[in-house]
Amino acid sequence: MDTEYPPLKPLQTGLRCRCPRCGQGRLFDGFLTLRKECEACGLDYSFADPADGPAFFVICFACIPSVLLGVWLEVAYSAPIWVQFLVTGPFMLATCIPPLRPLKGWLIASQYFYKAEEGKLVRLPATDAPQSVK
């Protein structure tokens, strides 16, 4: 069934929060809640499990500007705590919350594109013939 759809790059579909298979249907129902399936092609989104991936990337990369701002305010101006709350707090929210949605979309699209899934043990079928050990 996937042969009907040309492969779409995860960045193209994921950052736009679109279906990783058709690129048309929406991925989210709300801010970060995943839909059950694609409204355009019917792709079941149950494979999608980015877990803490989006939060991890936001913590590692998007928080850097707000930490730098907070440290700069402290070092340069010895800013009181209320200034930190009024300036650094909203700045941190503005740099951390908006990237969550496109990052989650990108991770889900990458999961679909690369067929990433949880590892499974593969058991070889038992053979009827006895194996001799010499």
Q: Which is nearer to Zn ion, 92 or 109 (CB)?
A: 109
Least CB distance to Zn ion at residue 101 (A): 18
Q: Which is nearer to Zn ion, 15 or 69 (CB)?
A: 15
Answer yes or no: are the C-beta atoms of 20 and 37 closer than 8 Å: no
Least CB distance to Zn ion at residue 18 (A): 8
Q: Please state the φ and ψ torsions of residue 26, each to the nearest 5 degrees.
A: -80, 150
Q: What share of the chain is helix, strand, coil (3-state, %, to 5)?
A: 50, 5, 45
Q: Which is nearer to Zn ion, 22 or 107 (CB)?
A: 22
Least CB distance to Zn ion at residue 125 (A): 36
Q: Which is nearer to Zn ion, 103 or 109 (CB)?
A: 109
Least CB distance to Zn ion at residue 21 (A): 5
Residues in contact with Zn ion by CB under 5 A are 19, 21-22, 25, 38, 40-41, 43
Number of H helices, E strands in the chain: 6, 0
Answer yes or no: are the C-beta atoms of 25 and 43 closer than 8 Å: yes
d(CA 85, CA 69): 12
